Structure 1
Amino acid sequence: MLSLVLSVVLLALSLGNSGSYASQIDDRIRGGEKISDDERYTIFYVGPSFFCFVTKLSEQWVITTSYCINANKVRPGEIFLEELGTVADITLHYDLALIKLTNPGPYFHRMKSVALPDLDEDLNLSNNTEATIFGLYMEVIQSAEIHKMNVTLKTGDDCKKFYQSPYAKEYYTCMEITEEKTTCAYDEGALMVVNGKLAALATISTEITTCPSAATYQLFVKISAFRAWIHDVTNL
């Protein structure tokens, strides 16, 4: 609740300066269902022009995308959201960011740690894989909350074009967006779970169009591609 209140307040302030968020209300995660307390892995906050999701890995570590850290100029020693705690250390690697926290805030203790895949585990994020997407659901601004939606990953024509890049399939998974949209391009760091484990984080740092336009695909950075790095940094 604390995160929701803070996020709504920040969002209202953002709307006072710009109407950029208003047109995206209908284009985010549609339907699905509200997450349970046992699925409260993540918290969201308002960035300069997008929403950022931060996901709990352990009692010390959270993960997000490097875009959220760089755009919001998060630095060690600063309070990183009152609900989470103080930043002790930040490690960036490609599209991902690991944050070590001290003095955990009240909401952090109520969050659940999401399970990571094993070091040598490949969750096979390919066409027709069943996954659960977490994203921001808003009927109106004041009711913003995190929902989840079960989806089947589909690779459309735009995804096939993206995969022509030699490194794309190794580091990313691309999901076609249908009328039942999942996350919006503005939901940076929104998580994908497969078989109960953190599989990927949504990213906008590559060439994805924004939600109100004719976006046809969403990119996610694969956790398994960086699993060894996560272990080296966090010992998880």
Structure 2
Amino acid sequence: MSLTIDNARWITPIALSAIFFLGSVLAASNEGESCAYGNEPGICQGYNLCRPLLEKSRIVKICGYTSQQAVVCCPLDYRERLQQLNDPNQRCRDYQSASNSGLLFGSLAVGSSVVKLKPRAQCPTDQNLIVGGTAARFGEFPHMARLAMPDENGAMVFRCGATLISEQWVMTAAHCLESQTIVVRLGELKEGNDEFGDPVDVQVTRIVKHPNYKPRTVYNDIALLKLARPVTFSTRIRPACLYGSSTVDRTKAVAIGFGSTEAYGAASKELLKVSLDVFTTAACSVFFQRNRRVPQGLRESHLCAGFLSGGRDTCTGDSGGPLQISSEDEACVAQIIGITSFGIGCGSTTPGIYTRVSEYIDWIEGIVWPTDSASLTDGLRFS
């Protein structure tokens, strides 16, 4: 029988977790309905979203359940604090601290297993990634995504990379999106190798290209893809942070992807990483003075990275993938500074062009973390 708002039950957070971990039968959700939290007016929302605001409370008021999580009564004054939670860097810190803490998390689905995420004592840094075309390690880049689209025969083929930035959104290059049918693959380290579990494939239900993107140029080459469902976070699937500063104070960054290892070669079967030098826009402009892909020259919305001696670069199939640095505060946290956009050849002495993520933070936030009521039902799920 469904729980009504008038008959909402009070329960401790620990007991609430036990209900899900034991796989109890759940009642209807009542999401979005009004409720009362003590003497305060509230609204029924997913527990995972409201949890940071209720974690100091000894009791939680239950409105009902979905198949994925409890629906609890959240005080209305949480809306101001929700705006803070919608900040991408705060969200990212929450994702990272949870998955690196070794705490117990479940997918909050009936009958789901509980997985203890082991703390990672050592995390990759820029310094130990100064190699070209080296295979990535398990758990090193859990934000890496692949985009599959149909070829001329209708077969799904992986064409580009992308970055998971939230539980239901990935970021990529706009020039990658030649089809309305896209499947995002997460959690894959090497094709055909299920040693660490099968990858997760999710359909894309919404494609948002930057409104000022122009095909055949590399201006505003950025797009966002909404997944058909929120993904469950784990040690091999977790979002990256977005780098918000307009200047990059590092001389090196790391690019990753499943792209070709040589010009016109076949795509790599495993995820590769390469360390590249970061150049200022002014220093890079000399390489692209007469290029039809940048007819108006490079802008501050571009970022250049490469290896002037040649031999290290992104290549065909890497487009849309991330260019990243590690956080100064925590090496485990990847900060995305660029999106692979365009290059001349593969492994050449000319730097590649990347879309500078910091120039598009406001646009990204408005789509992925809107402050309207539609975003209030989003919850975080871990396994």
The structure 1 residue matched to 2:322, chosen from 160, 177, 191, is: 191
Pair 1:209-2:209 in alignment = no
- Structure 1 residues not aligned, in runs of 5+: 1-28
Tell me how far apart the structure 2 counterparts of residues 142 and 229 of structure 1 sit (CA, whole Å). 32
CA contact (8 A) 1:64 1:98 kept: yes
Tell me how far apart the structure 2 counterparts of residues 74 and 84 of structure 1 sit (CA, whole Å). 13
Superposed, 1:107-146 pairs within 5 Å as 110-118=236-244, 121-124=245-248, 129-136=251-258, 144-146=269-271
Pair 1:158-2:287 in alignment = yes
Change (3 A) 1:153 1:234: same
CA contact (8 A) 1:133 1:183 kept: yes
Superposed, 1:70-149 pairs within 5 Å as 71-74=178-181, 80=184, 83-93=200-210, 94=213, 95-103=221-229, 110-118=236-244, 121-124=245-248, 129-136=251-258, 144-149=269-274
AA aligned to 2:248 is N
CA contact (8 A) 2:164 2:240 kept: yes
Shift of 1:182: 2.2
Superposed, 1:5-44 pairs within 5 Å as 30-44=132-146
Secondary structure of the 2:299 match is helix
Tell me how far apart the structure 2 counterparts of residues 199 and 58 of structure 1 sit (CA, whole Å). 16
Q: Looking at CA atoms only, which structure, 1 or 2, has the larger radius of gyration?
A: 2
Pair 1:65-2:173 in alignment = yes
Which one has a larger percent helix, Structure 1 or Structure 2?
1
Which residue of structure 1 aligns with residue 354 of structure 2?
Answer: 220
Q: TM-score, normalised by structure 1?
A: 0.66
Tell me how far apart the structure 1 counterparts of residues 160 and 335 of structure 2 sit (CA, whole Å). 20
Secondary structure of the 1:224 match is helix
Which residue of structure 1 aligns with residue 32 of structure 2?
Answer: none
Shift of 1:39: 1.7
Q: TM-score, normalised by structure 2?
A: 0.43
Report the aligned-residue RMSD: 3.7
Which residue of structure 2 aligns with residue 15 of structure 1?
Answer: none
CA contact (8 A) 1:133 1:148 kept: yes
Shift of 1:186: 4.3
CA contact (8 A) 1:138 1:145 kept: no
CA contact (8 A) 2:276 2:306 kept: no
Change (3 A) 1:186 1:158: farther
Moved more, 145-154 or 165-174: 165-174
Change (3 A) 1:36 1:50: closer
Shift of 1:123: 4.1
CA contact (8 A) 2:322 2:338 kept: yes
Report sequence identity in percent. 21
Measured against aligned partners, the alpha-carbon deviations of 1:150-206 in whole angstroms (never above 9, x if no partner) come to 3322445415767x97662311112344323121154211211123311001113xx
Secondary structure of the 1:230 match is helix
Measured against aligned partners, the alpha-carbon deviations of 1:193-233 in whole angstroms (never above 9, x if no partner) come to 123311001113xxx43438x67231100100111100111
Change (3 A) 1:138 1:217: closer
Tell me how far apart the structure 2 counterparts of residues 40 and 199 of structure 1 sit (CA, whole Å). 16
AA aligned to 1:124 is V
